[in-house]
Structure 1
Amino acid sequence: MQTPDRNATLAQWIAEEQAMRERLQGPGSLTLAQVSQLTPAEFFNGIGNGELPSPPMGALLDFIPIEWSEGRFVFQGSPDAQHYNPLGVVHGGYAATLLDSCMGCAIHTRLQKGQGYTTLDLRISYVRALTDSSGPIRAEGKIVHLGRSTALAEGRIYDVDGRLYATGSTTCMILEPRG
């Protein structure tokens, strides 16, 4: 049975996703040199406002950025049968990609203009299987630590009822501008 709170949350999530999809530009990429000329806020706001192309990976797996702030990033998607493995559930790589993305982007939000990052370590714990009836789901990443050379973040995937599907953590190397 669906509760009024669940229905309101589901309606809000769907409306937020639709509004973002209407703003997003089609998939495309910037060069590393182009990205390094932007602050993280300029970069993510440019994507969210449709001024910059949206990342092709999101189009491939059908997930989009929903909200971001300094040290936090949220993607939303609805897994379906195209993401299934031979066992009839969503492949674990779908969750791993969403977690890698939200945690990496959370770190990116705190970098200085010109800095980059790369994933050194990615750990995923699967709590329950995703299916085509699980969505919409959200992948939320938050920074745990940002140092001079490395950053740590945590992430989780959950649905409108707050059910947890997977958690993750990452260590990323901070890359200084090439000069």
Structure 2
Amino acid sequence: MERKRTIVWDDPQINKRDAVSALSGLDYLRAIKDGKISPPPVAKLIGYRIKEVEHGFAVFELDPGEHHYNPFATVHGGILSTLLDTAMTAAVLTTLPQNLTCSTVEVKVNFIKPVNAESKLLRCEARPIHIGRKLATVEGRIMNVNNELYAHGVSTCMIFKVE
């Protein structure tokens, strides 16, 4: 049986650049979480969402489904890598004042066990390790509701002014 999935998203340019420069990273993420700013299209495509954001801490959730599967009927590693990258970058962003943002320079992911639809809700928590003037390092973990570890990673983000 053929399956379909329809993705709908808002124009990613509307208010994004102004919001990024006018708000601290934490306030920007809170505005997305609270529905005041629409999430990026990739969040709609993959289906992750912000669960918690505080200074130096970010949590994103994902309900894994068969639309995330690779040819082996498990969630593709790229989906889990994207979830980790998103949460880790957000954790760095929560520490930045207005007019500064960040972007991933590199990411390393370790997959611990396979994920499938039966894995249920996944929670990705991330915390910075070090925040410098130009670079930040951060770590993240993907766990299920029973705190079983599925993947973990580390990342380096560059910090720069919003142009």
Q: TM-score, normalised by structure 2?
A: 0.89
Q: 1:114 aligns with which of 95, 99, 117?
A: 99
Q: By how many angstroms is 1:118 displaced?
A: 1.2
Query: Which residue of the partner structure matches residue 59 of structure 1?
Result: 44
Query: Which residue of the partner structure matches residue 75 of structure 1?
Result: 60
Partners of 1:106 and 1:98 in 2: CA distance: 12
Q: 2:150 aligns with which of 165, 170, 177?
A: 165
Partners of 1:168 and 1:28 in 2: CA distance: 31
Q: By how many angstroms is 1:153 displaced?
A: 0.3
What letter matches 1:67 in structure 2? E
Match of 1:133, SS state, is: helix
By percentage of residues, which structure has more helix?
A: 1
Give matches, 1:69-108, under 5 Å: 69-108=54-93
C-alpha offsets along residues 65-87 of structure 1, whole Å, 9 cap, x if unaligned? Answer: 00010011000111110000011
Give matches, 1:39-54, under 5 Å: 39-54=24-39
Partners of 1:27 and 1:164 in 2: CA distance: 33
Structure 1 residue runs without a partner (length 5+): 1-25
Partners of 1:160 and 1:82 in 2: CA distance: 21
Match of 2:123, SS state, is: strand
Moved over 6 A (4+): none
Query: Which residue of the partner structure matches residue 114 of structure 2?
Result: 129
Q: TM-score, normalised by structure 1?
A: 0.81
Partners of 1:41 and 1:119 in 2: CA distance: 17
Structure 2 residue runs without a partner (length 5+): 1-8
- Identity level (%): 33
Alpha-carbon RMSD across the aligned residues, in angstroms, is: 1.4
What letter matches 2:77 in structure 1? G
